[in-house]
Structure 1
Amino acid sequence: MPLPATSLYAALFALLFLALSLRVIRLRQRYQVVLGTPHRLVERAVRAHGNCAEYVPLGLILLGLLEGMGLPLWGVHALGTVFLAGRVVHARGISQEPESLRLRVVGMALTVTVLGVGAAALLGLVLADAFG
Protein backbone atom coordinates (compact mmCIF):
# COMPACT_ATOMS: atom_id res chain seq x y z
CA MET A 1 0.00 0.00 0.00
CA PRO A 2 1.57 3.32 -1.01
CA LEU A 3 2.10 5.95 1.66
CA PRO A 4 2.26 9.23 -0.27
CA ALA A 5 2.21 11.57 2.74
CA THR A 6 4.88 9.64 4.62
CA SER A 7 6.92 9.43 1.42
CA LEU A 8 6.79 13.22 1.11
CA TYR A 9 8.11 13.71 4.65
CA ALA A 10 10.75 11.00 4.19
CA ALA A 11 12.05 12.91 1.14
CA LEU A 12 12.00 16.24 2.99
CA PHE A 13 13.79 14.75 6.01
CA ALA A 14 16.36 13.17 3.68
CA LEU A 15 17.07 16.63 2.27
CA LEU A 16 17.37 18.08 5.79
CA PHE A 17 19.73 15.25 6.76
CA LEU A 18 21.80 15.84 3.62
CA ALA A 19 22.04 19.57 4.36
CA LEU A 20 23.16 18.88 7.93
CA SER A 21 25.68 16.31 6.63
CA LEU A 22 27.15 18.78 4.15
CA ARG A 23 27.42 21.39 6.92
CA VAL A 24 29.47 18.97 9.03
CA ILE A 25 31.73 18.19 6.07
CA ARG A 26 32.20 21.87 5.24
CA LEU A 27 33.08 22.79 8.85
CA ARG A 28 35.43 19.83 9.21
CA GLN A 29 37.25 21.04 6.10
CA ARG A 30 37.28 24.68 7.21
CA TYR A 31 38.71 23.91 10.66
CA GLN A 32 40.79 20.92 9.50
CA VAL A 33 39.07 18.48 11.85
CA VAL A 34 39.33 14.93 10.55
CA LEU A 35 37.99 13.05 13.57
CA GLY A 36 36.25 14.15 16.74
CA THR A 37 34.81 17.53 17.54
CA PRO A 38 37.53 19.73 19.07
CA HIS A 39 36.06 22.90 17.55
CA ARG A 40 32.81 24.34 18.99
CA LEU A 41 31.14 24.92 15.61
CA VAL A 42 32.08 21.45 14.38
CA GLU A 43 30.64 19.94 17.56
CA ARG A 44 27.43 21.90 17.15
CA ALA A 45 27.08 20.78 13.53
CA VAL A 46 27.77 17.16 14.49
CA ARG A 47 25.15 17.30 17.27
CA ALA A 48 22.53 18.90 14.98
CA HIS A 49 23.19 16.11 12.47
CA GLY A 50 23.19 13.41 15.15
CA ASN A 51 20.04 14.70 16.80
CA CYS A 52 18.28 14.56 13.45
CA ALA A 53 19.46 10.97 13.00
CA GLU A 54 18.18 10.09 16.47
CA TYR A 55 14.64 11.47 16.21
CA VAL A 56 13.64 11.34 12.54
CA PRO A 57 13.45 7.53 12.11
CA LEU A 58 10.91 7.08 14.92
CA GLY A 59 8.87 10.04 13.66
CA LEU A 60 8.76 8.65 10.14
CA ILE A 61 7.81 5.21 11.40
CA LEU A 62 4.94 6.76 13.36
CA LEU A 63 3.78 8.77 10.33
CA GLY A 64 3.87 5.69 8.12
CA LEU A 65 1.98 3.56 10.61
CA LEU A 66 -0.60 6.28 11.17
CA GLU A 67 -1.10 6.71 7.44
CA GLY A 68 -1.31 2.95 6.97
CA MET A 69 -3.85 2.63 9.80
CA GLY A 70 -6.08 5.17 8.11
CA LEU A 71 -5.41 8.44 9.91
CA PRO A 72 -6.91 11.13 7.67
CA LEU A 73 -4.27 12.68 5.41
CA TRP A 74 -4.80 16.11 6.96
CA GLY A 75 -3.73 14.56 10.29
CA VAL A 76 -0.64 12.94 8.79
CA HIS A 77 0.29 16.23 7.12
CA ALA A 78 -0.33 18.21 10.31
CA LEU A 79 1.96 15.91 12.29
CA GLY A 80 4.54 15.74 9.50
CA THR A 81 4.65 19.52 9.07
CA VAL A 82 5.01 20.19 12.80
CA PHE A 83 7.64 17.46 13.09
CA LEU A 84 9.66 18.89 10.20
CA ALA A 85 9.37 22.40 11.61
CA GLY A 86 10.54 21.15 14.99
CA ARG A 87 13.58 19.43 13.55
CA VAL A 88 14.54 22.46 11.43
CA VAL A 89 14.10 24.89 14.34
CA HIS A 90 16.09 22.65 16.67
CA ALA A 91 18.92 22.24 14.15
CA ARG A 92 19.06 26.01 13.70
CA GLY A 93 19.14 26.62 17.44
CA ILE A 94 21.82 24.08 18.28
CA SER A 95 24.02 25.09 15.32
CA GLN A 96 24.41 28.72 16.37
CA GLU A 97 27.27 30.15 18.38
CA PRO A 98 26.21 31.50 20.75
CA GLU A 99 23.47 28.94 21.01
CA SER A 100 19.84 29.92 20.70
CA LEU A 101 18.37 28.00 23.62
CA ARG A 102 14.90 29.30 22.77
CA LEU A 103 15.04 27.72 19.29
CA ARG A 104 16.32 24.45 20.74
CA VAL A 105 13.52 24.34 23.30
CA VAL A 106 10.84 25.18 20.72
CA GLY A 107 12.25 22.58 18.32
CA MET A 108 12.30 19.86 20.95
CA ALA A 109 8.83 20.82 22.20
CA LEU A 110 7.44 20.45 18.69
CA THR A 111 9.28 17.16 18.22
CA VAL A 112 8.15 15.52 21.47
CA THR A 113 4.62 16.81 20.96
CA VAL A 114 4.43 15.09 17.58
CA LEU A 115 5.89 11.88 18.98
CA GLY A 116 3.44 11.91 21.89
CA VAL A 117 0.37 12.83 19.84
CA GLY A 118 1.41 10.37 17.13
CA ALA A 119 1.84 7.55 19.66
CA ALA A 120 -1.53 8.31 21.27
CA ALA A 121 -3.26 8.47 17.89
CA LEU A 122 -1.68 5.20 16.80
CA LEU A 123 -2.77 3.49 20.02
CA GLY A 124 -6.27 4.82 19.47
CA LEU A 125 -6.39 3.52 15.91
CA VAL A 126 -5.01 0.12 16.92
CA LEU A 127 -7.49 -0.24 19.80
CA ALA A 128 -10.39 0.94 17.63
CA ASP A 129 -9.42 -1.62 14.99
CA ALA A 130 -9.07 -4.40 17.57
CA PHE A 131 -12.28 -3.71 19.48
CA GLY A 132 -14.35 -1.73 16.99
Structure 2
Amino acid sequence: MMPRITLLVASLHVLLYVVLALRVVLHRRASRIGVGTGGDAAMALRVRVHGNFAEYVPLALLMLALLELSAMPAALLWTCGVALLLARVLHAVGLGRSPGYSFGRFAGTLLTFLVLLAMALAGLWRFLVVYTL
Protein backbone atom coordinates (compact mmCIF):
# COMPACT_ATOMS: atom_id res chain seq x y z
CA MET A 1 0.00 0.00 0.00
CA MET A 2 1.33 3.38 -1.01
CA PRO A 3 1.36 5.90 1.91
CA ARG A 4 -0.56 8.56 -0.02
CA ILE A 5 -1.52 10.71 2.97
CA THR A 6 2.09 10.83 4.14
CA LEU A 7 3.20 11.67 0.60
CA LEU A 8 1.04 14.81 0.57
CA VAL A 9 1.85 15.81 4.15
CA ALA A 10 5.58 15.28 3.60
CA SER A 11 5.47 17.27 0.36
CA LEU A 12 3.88 20.22 2.15
CA HIS A 13 6.49 20.01 4.90
CA VAL A 14 9.28 20.00 2.32
CA LEU A 15 7.88 23.20 0.82
CA LEU A 16 7.96 24.82 4.27
CA TYR A 17 11.49 23.49 4.81
CA VAL A 18 12.62 25.11 1.55
CA VAL A 19 11.09 28.44 2.60
CA LEU A 20 12.92 28.27 5.94
CA ALA A 21 16.18 27.32 4.23
CA LEU A 22 15.83 30.16 1.71
CA ARG A 23 15.39 32.63 4.55
CA VAL A 24 18.76 31.50 5.90
CA VAL A 25 20.45 31.54 2.50
CA LEU A 26 19.13 34.97 1.52
CA HIS A 27 20.09 36.55 4.85
CA ARG A 28 23.49 34.88 4.69
CA ARG A 29 24.05 36.32 1.23
CA ALA A 30 22.75 39.80 2.10
CA SER A 31 24.88 39.93 5.25
CA ARG A 32 27.91 38.31 3.62
CA ILE A 33 28.12 35.57 6.24
CA GLY A 34 29.97 32.58 4.85
CA VAL A 35 29.78 30.05 7.67
CA GLY A 36 27.95 30.07 10.99
CA THR A 37 26.00 33.10 12.09
CA GLY A 38 28.77 35.71 12.06
CA GLY A 39 27.50 37.13 15.35
CA ASP A 40 24.35 38.30 13.53
CA ALA A 41 21.29 37.87 15.79
CA ALA A 42 18.85 37.71 12.89
CA MET A 43 20.96 35.03 11.22
CA ALA A 44 21.15 33.04 14.45
CA LEU A 45 17.38 33.14 14.77
CA ARG A 46 16.81 32.02 11.18
CA VAL A 47 19.31 29.20 11.57
CA ARG A 48 17.56 28.10 14.77
CA VAL A 49 14.08 28.14 13.17
CA HIS A 50 15.39 26.06 10.28
CA GLY A 51 17.29 23.73 12.61
CA ASN A 52 14.34 23.16 14.91
CA PHE A 53 12.21 22.16 11.94
CA ALA A 54 14.93 19.74 10.80
CA GLU A 55 15.12 18.23 14.29
CA TYR A 56 11.45 17.38 14.73
CA VAL A 57 9.81 16.91 11.34
CA PRO A 58 11.72 13.88 9.98
CA LEU A 59 10.83 11.70 12.97
CA ALA A 60 7.21 12.85 12.85
CA LEU A 61 6.94 12.09 9.14
CA LEU A 62 8.52 8.69 9.66
CA MET A 63 5.94 7.90 12.34
CA LEU A 64 3.14 9.11 10.08
CA ALA A 65 4.34 6.86 7.26
CA LEU A 66 4.68 3.86 9.57
CA LEU A 67 1.18 4.42 10.92
CA GLU A 68 -0.18 4.70 7.41
CA LEU A 69 1.62 1.54 6.31
CA SER A 70 0.17 -0.27 9.33
CA ALA A 71 -3.34 0.64 8.11
CA MET A 72 -4.28 3.13 10.81
CA PRO A 73 -7.54 4.98 10.09
CA ALA A 74 -7.23 7.78 7.56
CA ALA A 75 -8.91 10.26 9.93
CA LEU A 76 -6.09 9.78 12.46
CA LEU A 77 -3.45 10.17 9.77
CA TRP A 78 -5.04 13.35 8.36
CA THR A 79 -5.48 14.81 11.83
CA CYS A 80 -1.86 14.16 12.78
CA GLY A 81 -0.49 15.33 9.43
CA VAL A 82 -2.45 18.57 9.32
CA ALA A 83 -1.84 19.27 13.02
CA LEU A 84 1.89 18.76 12.53
CA LEU A 85 1.97 21.18 9.61
CA LEU A 86 0.00 23.75 11.59
CA ALA A 87 2.33 23.26 14.55
CA ARG A 88 5.45 23.76 12.47
CA VAL A 89 4.05 26.90 10.79
CA LEU A 90 3.07 28.34 14.18
CA HIS A 91 6.49 27.55 15.61
CA ALA A 92 8.39 28.97 12.63
CA VAL A 93 6.39 32.22 12.67
CA GLY A 94 6.53 32.56 16.44
CA LEU A 95 10.23 31.86 16.85
CA GLY A 96 11.06 33.69 13.62
CA ARG A 97 9.70 36.92 15.04
CA SER A 98 11.36 36.78 18.45
CA PRO A 99 13.73 34.48 20.34
CA GLY A 100 11.62 35.01 23.47
CA TYR A 101 8.14 33.82 24.34
CA SER A 102 5.44 34.08 21.69
CA PHE A 103 2.08 32.42 21.27
CA GLY A 104 3.16 30.85 17.98
CA ARG A 105 6.31 29.38 19.45
CA PHE A 106 4.49 28.03 22.51
CA ALA A 107 1.49 26.67 20.59
CA GLY A 108 3.69 25.23 17.86
CA THR A 109 5.92 23.45 20.34
CA LEU A 110 3.00 22.12 22.36
CA LEU A 111 1.13 20.93 19.28
CA THR A 112 4.27 19.29 17.86
CA PHE A 113 4.76 17.37 21.12
CA LEU A 114 1.09 16.37 21.24
CA VAL A 115 1.20 15.08 17.66
CA LEU A 116 4.39 13.12 18.34
CA LEU A 117 2.89 11.67 21.52
CA ALA A 118 -0.38 10.77 19.79
CA MET A 119 1.47 9.02 16.97
CA ALA A 120 3.74 7.16 19.39
CA LEU A 121 0.76 5.96 21.40
CA ALA A 122 -1.11 4.97 18.25
CA GLY A 123 1.94 3.03 17.09
CA LEU A 124 2.28 1.27 20.43
CA TRP A 125 -1.44 0.46 20.44
CA ARG A 126 -1.22 -0.88 16.91
CA PHE A 127 1.72 -3.07 17.81
CA LEU A 128 0.37 -4.36 21.13
CA VAL A 129 -3.28 -4.88 20.20
CA VAL A 130 -3.21 -5.75 16.54
CA TYR A 131 0.13 -7.44 15.95
CA THR A 132 0.66 -9.34 19.20
CA LEU A 133 -2.80 -10.85 19.67
Query: Does TM-score exceed 0.5, indicating one fold?
Result: yes
Matches of 2:56 and 2:67, distance apart in 1: 17
Report 1:104-115 matches (<5 A): 104-115=105-116
Q: Which amino acid aligns with 1:25?
A: V
Q: What residue number does 2:51 align with?
A: 50
Alignment of 1:74-85 (within 5 A): 74-85=75-86
1:71 aligns with 2:72: yes
Quick one: distance in 2 between partners of 1:98 and 1:9? 27
Judged with a 3 Å threshold, the aligned counterparts in structure 2 of structure 1 residues 97 and 115 are, in CA distance, closer, same or farther, namely closer
Checking the alignment, whether the CA contact within 8 Å between 2:21 and 2:50 is kept in structure 1 is yes
Unaligned runs of 5+ residues in structure 2 are none
Structure 1 residue 69 displacement after superposition: 1.0
Return closer, same or farther for 1:128/1:98 CA change in 2, 3 Å cut-off. Answer: closer
SS of 1:71's equivalent in the other structure is coil
Q: Which residue of 1 aligns with 2:130?
A: 129
Going from structure 1 to structure 2, the CA distance change for 1:53 and 1:31 (only over 3 Å counts) comes to same
Aligned CA RMSD, in angstroms, stands at 1.3
- Percent identity, aligned pairs only, is 37
Task: Summarize the alignment of residues 1-132 of structure 1 with structure 2, pairs less than 5 Å apart.
Answer: 1-37=1-37, 38-97=39-98, 99=100, 101-132=102-133
In structure 1, what residue type is equivalent to 2:36? G
Cα deviations by residue, 1:81-124 (Å, 9 ceiling, x for unpaired): 00011011101111114755221111000000000010001100
Q: Tell me which amino acid in the other structure corresponds to 1:67.
A: E
TM-score calculated relative to the size of structure 1: 0.94
Which residue identity does 1:73 align to in structure 2?
A
d(CA) in 1 for partners of 2:101 and 2:29? 24
List gaps (5 residues or longer) in structure 1.
none
8 A Cα contact 1:17 1:49, kept in partner: yes
Q: TM-score, normalised by structure 2?
A: 0.94
CA distance, structure 1, for counterparts of residue 121 and residue 40 of structure 2: 40
